[in-house]
Amino acid sequence: MSPAASSRRVVVATPAPLLPGKGWVGKGLSLAVGIWVFQYGYFEFFTPFNQYREPLPLIAYELGLQGIMAAVEGLAIARVLR
């Protein structure tokens, strides 16, 4: 087994069964929620809201679009882990 394959097993495949949800779609959507909250949610409220004082409707619009991106990312990762 190559070093790349063993590192993939440790980093990606080991936590895959721990994701909530049934099937790869459920696991992908739960992963998407985590991506959306911890990546996009943190960024939107740290920089645009706190530092730039963007209006809340604009932040909500951005978070909606980023929710779509997080869903695509989570489903793609879960499909690969399947």
Question: Residue 34's pLDDT is what?
Answer: 87
20-32 pLDDT, tens digit each: 778 888 888 888 9
What the block records as the tokens of 37 is 């909250």
On whether the CB atoms of residues 36 and 67 are closer than 8 A, the answer is yes
Using the predicted structure, report yes or no on whether residue 74 has a pLDDT greater than 80: yes
Which pLDDT does position 41 carry in this prediction?
Answer: 84
Q: How far, CA to CA in Å, does 4 sit from each of 36, 47, 58, 65?
A: 28, 36, 42, 34
* 26-72 confidence digits (pLDDT tens): 888 888 998 899 888 888 888 887 788 889 898 899 999 999 999 99
pTM (2 d.p.) = 0.74
